[in-house]
Amino acid sequence: MNAARRTEQKHLRINLARLACISALYPFYHRFTHTRTAHINSSAKALFQTTEYRVSITRRSPSILYFVISHPSCVAEEVAARTTWAKDLNVLWFNTEKSFRDTIVVSVVPNSYMNIFPRVRKVWQHIYENERSKYDWYVRLFPDNYLFASRLERLLMPLDPALPQIIGHVASTKHGAFVGGGAGWIVSRSALEAWALTDGADFSKCEIPSWLESDQIYAEDVIISDCMQRAGINFVQQKDLFRSFYPGHESNSDVSEDQIILGAPKNIITLHYMTAGQVTALWRKEIRSRKYAVISFTDDKKGVDYAYLAPFAVAAWKRIGWSSIVVHVKTQQQDVSIAMTTLQNAVSALDPTALFLTIPTRTENAATVAQLVRLFIASLDHIADDDVLLTSDADILPISRKAYELDPVDVMNVLNADCCGSINVGAHKVLMQPMTNVIGTKRNWRKLMELSLVQDLSHLDMQKWLSDHKFEQFPNSSVIKGENDLWYMDQRILSLRLHHSPVPVKKIPRKTSEDRVDRIYAETWPSRISLADLEQKTDLHAWLPSSRGEGHDELMHFVHACFDTFDVSILNDFHTNFTELI
């Protein structure tokens, strides 16, 4: 085996070890928004799950039955659940009376809270007798839960329902462990069968244990957990994901409501003790338009410097409340394929809501495709019309949240407007606008650029648009900054479209010499100004890895000053791994 091959295998082992470590912290890496499809990168097949838009995989989504145990006193919460998180799910609704047309009535005497155990046991009896073997997983909830269903499905995707297991918030009493009922349970098909085998199809042998105090007999979760333990069912601890209280409760002090909605740094799956108003308000925030910063890079020799900074940019945008769309313009540089997979895994760990696209092209026009693609993201049909898209560069890391809190509904916002001289169009001068940053909804971007919808964006789509709109075609040789005007092709096109925009344009001036931490000006560097002054800056013009030494030290000074420890750990790990691979 030659040295190069041994080195490659070493890097694969490093990647696998690190990925396993991060996977333990983040059991699911990818958020498939709207109709997005999962794909496999052929260079890392069977080693890493990646997301491209070209080659489909056949991994089956788990079959799940949700059921909610309600009560007439919870009608407001049930209505809220039915009209928000549960409205598109396969849910059975149980109650002690016929509250809705599809209600399954399960009643005991008395139907009191202290007597909830026999009622819950009868619900499980109904599930076993009518639904067993139809599903991989059975998810039990209450009407005052809030569920992030797509996160739950991604959690279950790699797990085996043939193993007898119950997943949830595992706690303990002096008599042993139990799975807290309020946060929700996930019970595997095998666990349901094992329990019925032990306690009978009607679960009548599952009884209140003698050691449970008489004033605790309402604790159906403790009682049924005890029965399931006797049946040999394994309890899987996921207390970080299954929360027993609502946002803002002291037990959830480790995450803000925005972080709960974003799903980072913890992909919380359930909440409990939610009022109807809280459920509705959280749902509105969850489904409101998402905000995406669009960054792109190539994997050729010059592009990997910017590729390296992509995870740093993703973390920075997440810090101020934005997700990211990261576009990898893929050339035929097979020697960096493992590094690109490592990069994508870091992006997914930092922000599970980020979208990662791969667009193959020829090496000679890769830089132009990477620059232009930011103007065409709005053509993707799986991005919602009200989603907000912001053009940015991989080496620009935002700092100020307030600077980007703009209303994009009716206008295109241009930050640092009229920044860059002008271009001559016939007898007229058109002021040049920056690529960093222009902000608008997908709907307004489509109007601005006159874009048709596509499922998969390719360089051919962009080439056709250029031809249809009488712009230059892609170059047949490499484009290098400062050597020809094609380097500014994206900026010229954007400036002309904004000049003739059918959407109102709001120009917002900036003084980047004052409000930017710039790699060019040492007096602005993070280690040379106070944290208070750093936090007043709008953004940071980051150091490329080729600068190494002092530049990297300054970048990491910024990361440690502004990012949380979870993100710092992932970025440190990524830096070590990626720089070894390239």
Instruction: Summarize pLDDT for 310-352 with one digit per residue, the tens.
Output: 999 999 998 888 889 999 999 976 688 899 999 999 998 888 6
CA 478/CA 501 separation, integer angstroms:
31
Task: List the structure tokens of 331.
Answer: 């050339």
Closest CA to 15 of 353, 355, 343, 347: 343
The domains located in the chain, with CATH, are: 7-19+34-57+289-581 (3.90.550), 64-285 (3.90.550.50)
Question: Residue 44 pLDDT more than 50?
Answer: no
**Do 168 and 76 form a contact (C-beta atoms < 8 A)?**
no
The neighbour count for residue 111, using CB atoms within 10 Å, is 17
Q: Are 542 and 555 in contact (CB under 8 A)?
A: yes
The residue ranking higher by pLDDT, 410 or 329, is 329
DSSP 453: P
User: What is the tens place of the pLDDT at every residue in 95-152?
Assistant: 999 988 899 999 999 999 999 999 999 999 999 999 999 999 999 999 999 999 988 9
Contact 374, 421 (CB under 8 A): no
What count of residues does the chain have? 582
Written as one letter, the residue type at 24 is: A
For residue 495, give Cα distances in angstroms to 133, 249, 358, 399, 422.
60, 48, 26, 25, 9
Q: Which of 27, 36, 121 is nearest to 456 (CA)?
A: 36
Supply the mean pLDDT for the chain. Answer: 85
| pLDDT tens readout for residues 335-394 | 888 999 999 999 988 886 789 999 999 888 898 999 999 999 999 988 888 889 999 999
Of 454 and 445, the one with more pLDDT: 445
Mean pLDDT along residues 166-170: 97
Cα-based angle 332, 336, 337 (whole degrees, multiple of 5): 75
353 in Cβ contact with 259 (< 8 Å) = no
- C-alpha 557, offset from chain centre: 26
pLDDT above 70 for 264: no
How many other C-beta atoms can be found within 10 angstroms of the C-beta atom of residue 88? 8
| Reported pTM | 0.61
Q: Which residues lie below 8 Å from residue 207, measured CB to CB, with a gap of 6+? A: 223, 227
Pick the more confident residue, 54 or 61: 61
Mean pLDDT to the nearest integer, 213-242:
96
User: Which of 20-34, 265-279, 461-475, 562-576 is least confident?
Assistant: 20-34
Position of tokens 């917002």?
508
What is the rounded distance in angstroms from the CA atom of residue 261 to the CA atom of residue 237? Answer: 22
pLDDT of residue 58: 30
469-502 CB burial, b ≥16 within 10 A, e <16: eeeeebeeebbeeeeeebbbbbbbbbbbbbbebe
Place of tokens 């309020």: 182
Two tokens at 395?
A: 């080496």
Q: If you ran DSSP here, which 8-state letter would residue 344 be given?
A: H
Answer whether 554's CB lies under 8 Å from 527's CB.
Answer: yes
Cα(575)–Cα(311) distance, rounded to whole angstroms? 10
